[in-house]
């Protein structure tokens, strides 16, 4: 299954989980802090306002006389204790002494009714759009009531400042949690990256790759299991490679005998009947195919056993390609005009086989190659193009597998290949530190384009090379 580009990797998911955890914890702490702080501030404000209201109501009751009128109240009210943000409203009989910007209509009706029953009370209620704490105390010695109205604007401002601080702290906590999660994910995934690197090395042909002991008992068990798996895989591959090599060697002797016998029959071809000649042609074709298959299997077994090596010589790529296309009159070579000579260290025999296999593949399935193109920059790219039906995108990786010939390969016979030619191309280029791929022709015409890429500086993968 192809990787989903929108899907986050494990490391990013760990960092995100840490960030979400930090956000949740900081949000919970912020909400708890806001609730507890608001409760504490409001309760403190209510207690102070209630104590002040009781004290003022007592002083007011002590200064009133049965003959006091509403006109006497301002003088008495000025002597009462004041608190910042606090206002007072006084009822004496049917008359009311309002506070600046407040009158009796601003008082909560439920509190007014309570005092009408000669019971004290307090309530947190909105007054003219703002939250206020209102305390009502009846003066039992007189037909009078005292109301203290204390705003909570200062508390609201304090809570708003606290909210900004908590939001900033929450954002910082979330960022720090994400950074911590990223750091933790890097440390957590480091062993997995070692496993991935080792797996990639094994997939690249380094079958002796093993994981070093880890500094953790659980990871040591993972390393031991991985190393056991790698050892079993290496042993299995070597065993299969030896088997294929032994079989191929055992087949060469009877194959040589058959080829010699067929050579004798071919020399006396004119003495055979038409039907016998047809049978002889089929036998020769199959024996040639069988011979190629055995030789290719011997090469493949060398790769699998890790004994394939390079015989490095200086190769002039331009001269090499000119010699390659010289035997085919319909094949042209395209080389950059400024390129006269391009010399690299390579195994000329293997490069010759790479080009022969690509040209043979184009001849079998694409009607023959039409042009070979050379490009170079940081790497050397040699492209072989044909005018055939092209290669479906779904098969462009599969055709380099062993014994895979794609939908254009047809059935056995008819001069078909062994199915190992392109896999040998891949292995030969891998030894050189290069690669090969198939694509559409850049000019938009029908056909296939095989591109082989070689490094300008050698980065060979095998540990032993013949010079």
349-384: pLDDT as tens digits: 999 999 998 998 888 888 889 999 999 888 899 999
Q: Say if 287 falls within a structural domain.
A: yes
**Do 377 and 330 reside in the same domain of the chain?**
yes
* 359 touches 369 (CB < 8 A): yes
Q: The domain spanning residue 30 has which CATH number? A: 3.30.450.20
**Do 272 and 298 reside in the same domain of the chain?**
yes
Chosen domain end from 115, 133, 159: 159
Structure tokens at 254: 């009877």
Q: Which helix (H) or strand (E) holds 171?
A: helix 153-203
Q: Say if 198 falls within a structural domain.
A: no
Give the integer Cα–Cα distance in Å for 436 and 450.
7
Task: Kindly report the backbone phi and psi dihedral angles of residue 86, in degrees, each rounded to the nearest multiple of 5, phi listed first.
Answer: -105, 145
Query: Residue 115 class from Cβ within 10 Å (0-12 exposed, 13-18 middle, 19+ buried)?
Result: buried
Predicted pLDDT at 423: 85
Task: Kindly report the backbone phi and psi dihedral angles of residue 9, in degrees, each rounded to the nearest multiple of 5, phi listed first.
Answer: -75, 170
**Do 291 and 316 reside in the same domain of the chain?**
no
Q: Which helix (H) or strand (E) holds 149?
A: strand 144-151
Residue range(s) defining the domain that contains residue 341: 312-455
Q: Say if 62 falls within a structural domain.
A: yes
Predicted pLDDT at 304: 67
**Do 27 and 147 reside in the same domain of the chain?**
yes
**Do 327 and 437 reside in the same domain of the chain?**
yes
Chosen domain end from 277, 303, 329: 303
Predicted pLDDT at 385: 92
Distances (CA, A) of 86 to 42, 71, 112, 321: 14, 22, 18, 99
**Do 124 and 100 reside in the same domain of the chain?**
yes
User: Buried b vs exposed e over 86-102: b needs ≥16 C-beta within 10 Å?
Assistant: bbbbbbbeeebbebeeb
Chosen domain end from 109, 130, 159: 159
Q: The domain spanning residue 428 has which CATH number? A: 3.30.565.10
Q: What is the pTM of this model?
A: 0.50
457's CB contacts (< 8 A; 6+ apart) are: none
First-to-final CA distance of the chain: 43
Q: Say if 197 falls within a structural domain.
A: no
DSSP characters for 67-104? T--GGGHHHHHHTS---TTEEEEEEETTEEEPBTTB-G
Give the integer Cα–Cα distance in Å for 358 and 325.
12
Query: Residue 272 class from Cβ within 10 Å (0-12 exposed, 13-18 middle, 19+ buried)?
Result: middle
Q: Say if 328 falls within a structural domain.
A: yes
**Do 299 and 406 reside in the same domain of the chain?**
no
Give the integer Cα–Cα distance in Å for 453 and 375.
10
Q: Say if 68 falls within a structural domain.
A: yes
Q: Say if 182 falls within a structural domain.
A: no
**Do 360 and 412 reside in the same domain of the chain?**
yes
Q: Say if 462 falls within a structural domain.
A: no
Q: The domain spanning residue 227 has which CATH number? A: 1.10.287.130
Q: Report the domain count for the chain.
A: 3
442's CB contacts (< 8 A; 6+ apart) are: 449
The alpha carbon torsion through 32, 34, 36, 42 (nearest 10 deg) reads -160
**Do 133 and 261 reside in the same domain of the chain?**
no
183's CB contacts (< 8 A; 6+ apart) are: none
Distances (CA, A) of 192 to 181, 199, 204, 219, 232: 17, 10, 18, 9, 20
**Do 279 and 349 reside in the same domain of the chain?**
no
Predicted pLDDT at 383: 92
Other CB atoms closer than 10 Å to residue 277's CB: what's the count? 15
Regions of the chain with pLDDT less than 70? 1-8, 205, 241, 244-245, 248, 304-307, 405-418, 458-467
Other CB atoms closer than 10 Å to residue 149's CB: what's the count? 23
Task: Outline where DSSP puts E strands in 24-79.
Answer: none
**Do 137 and 30 reside in the same domain of the chain?**
yes
Give the integer Cα–Cα distance in Å for 59 and 47.
18
**Do 59 and 152 reside in the same domain of the chain?**
yes
């Amino acid at each position: 299954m192809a990787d989903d580009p929108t899907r986050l990797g494990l490391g990013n998911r760990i960092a995100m989980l840490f960030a979400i955890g930090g956000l949740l914890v900081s949000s919970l702490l912020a909400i708890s802090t806001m609730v507890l702080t608001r409760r504490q501030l409001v309760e403190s404000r209510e207690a102070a306002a209630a104590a002040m209201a009781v004290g003022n109501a007592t002083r007011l009751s002590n200064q009133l006389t049965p003959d006091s009128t509403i006109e006497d109240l301002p003088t008495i009210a000025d002597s009462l204790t004041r608190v910042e943000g606090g206002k007072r409203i006084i009822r004496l009989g049917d008359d009311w002494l309002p506070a600046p910007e407040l009158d009796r209509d601003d008082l909560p009706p439920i509190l007014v009714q309570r005092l009408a029953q000669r019971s004290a009370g307090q309530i947190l209620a909105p007054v003219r759009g703002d939250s206020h704490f209102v305390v009502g105390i009846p003066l039992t010695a007189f037909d009078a009531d005292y109301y203290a109205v204390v705003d909570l604007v200062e508390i609201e401002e304090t809570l708003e400042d606290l909210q900004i601080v908590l939001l900033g702290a929450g954002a910082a906590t979330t960022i720090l949690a994400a950074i911590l999660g990223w750091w933790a994910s890097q440390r957590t995934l480091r062993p997995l990256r070692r496993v991935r690197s080792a797996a990639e090395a094994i997939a690249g042909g380094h079958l002796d790759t093993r994981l070093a002991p880890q500094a953790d008992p659980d990871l040591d068990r993972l390393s031991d299991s991985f190393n056991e798996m790698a050892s079993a895989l290496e042993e299995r591959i070597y065993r299969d490679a030896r088997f294929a090599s032994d079989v191929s060697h055992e087949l060469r002797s009877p194959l040589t005998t058959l080829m010699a016998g067929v050579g004798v029959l071919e020399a006396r071809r004119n003495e055979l009947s038409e039907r016998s000649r047809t049978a002889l042609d089929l036998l020769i074709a199959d024996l040639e195919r069988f011979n190629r298959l055995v030789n290719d299997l011997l090469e493949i077994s060398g790769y699998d056993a890790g004994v394939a090596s390079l015989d490095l010589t200086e190769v002039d790529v331009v001269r090499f390609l000119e010699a390659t296309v010289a035997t085919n009159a319909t094949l042209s070579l395209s080389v950059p005009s400024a390129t006269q000579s391009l010399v690299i260290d390579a195994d000329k025999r293997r490069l010759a086989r790479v080009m022969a296999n690509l040209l043979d593949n184009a001849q079998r399935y694409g009607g023959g190659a039409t042009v070979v193109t050379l490009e170079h920059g940081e790497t050397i790219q040699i492209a072989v193009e044909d005018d055939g039906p092209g290669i479906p995108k779904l098969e462009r990786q599969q055709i380099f597998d062993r014994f895979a010939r794609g939908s254009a390969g047809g059935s056995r016979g008819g001069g078909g290949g062994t199915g190992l030619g392109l896999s040998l191309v891949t292995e030969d280029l891998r030894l050189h530190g290069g690669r090969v791929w198939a694509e559409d022709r850049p000019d938009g015409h029908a056909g296939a384009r095989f591109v082989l890429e070689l490094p300008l500086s050698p980065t060979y993968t095998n540990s032993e090379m013949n010079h």
